[in-house]
Amino acid sequence: MNTTVRHSLGQYDVEVTGLRVVLDGLGDDDMIVTDDHVRAAVNLERDCFSIKPGELSKCLAVYGEVMDWLAQRASRSSRVVALGGGVVGDLAGFAAATFMRGVRLLQVPTSLMAMVDSSVGGKVGIDLAAGKNLAGAFWPPEKVQVPIDALGTLPSRHFTNGAAEVWKYAAIMDPALFDRLSSKPLALSDPNPAETVMRCIELKRVVVEGDEHETTGGRATLNFGHTVGHAIEQSMGYQGILHGEAVAIGMVAESLLGERLGLTDKQTTERIRGGLQSQGLPIKLPEGLDSRNLLEPMRRDKKADRNGLAFSLVSEIGTCKLLRGVAESDVLSALEKL
């Protein structure tokens, strides 16, 4: 199973493989960046840079440590290997994009979240105190190797966390996938997870090839649920909630916003809410989180402009578009209905 993603500088292959095949194929010039959980799970004994798991490691301080580590070991001919989930992929990718003005990058996503979303498309970056993913680059990998057997190492909460992105793809682009998920939510015991993973990768390939550098608004549709989701994560200090969990809440909130703006019908909102709930994902704001505190992070969202907030909203299952100039009062009204 594989596909090819084309971009302005060329193309790269995305292939489903096994974790041992990937590790055995690495050479002395491969600089592995991973996290402590993955390092232990795969019994990685060779030299690598291992970070603490979680979004708090995707920051300027850890980025600087990775760059210093590379400076002691790597050259222009080296390749950075991002072995881990989305945090590792974003951080290692940004290091690859900026070390010596750019070295080769191999993405090896080990979480469901990274497999179906963050490892494909060439977006890399880190968080700043002001907001999520505010420092970054477009830096396509040399290749993406998807070790599908790595899913067996995931705790059930992290698998469910990644399933949120699968539901997102279904909601914005694939009604048939949405129907299938509604009948049978994703599970670790699924006999052929590669089929679902590759379907999501194909969907993302279509979007990123059509809007590689986010200039037309097409790629912004991949942010359904993320404007609210990122604001939740930041307001909670990236603790106590995982990215997919926050995005799941965001998808329900943004569906309610679409209803208020006359774009989304109530049945679509209820299907999204019910589907996410059946997957075991949260659909309400965390207890104690004031919805008004989410506005400031949303104002710093990359889609926002002088005309107001911007959201990627689903009009019906399978159709999504970017809507600009959304009033904050409408957003608050939607959040109050969660």
- Annotated catalytic sites, by residue? 101, 123, 165, 204, 214, 219, 223, 226, 230, 243
What's the 3-state SS for 184-243? CCCCCCCCCHHHHHHHHHHHHHHHHHHCCCCCCCCHHHHHCCHHHHHHHHHHCCCCCCCH
d(CA 278, CA 65): 41
Nearest alpha carbon to residue 328 among 301, 296, 302? 296
Buried b (16+ CB within 10 A) or exposed e, 105-123: bbbbbbbbbbbbbbbbbbb
Answer yes or no: are the C-beta atoms of 223 and 233 closer than 8 Å.
Answer: no
Buried b (16+ CB within 10 A) or exposed e, 220-239: bbbbbbbbbbbbbbbbeebe
Answer yes or no: are the C-beta atoms of 222 and 204 closer than 8 Å.
Answer: yes
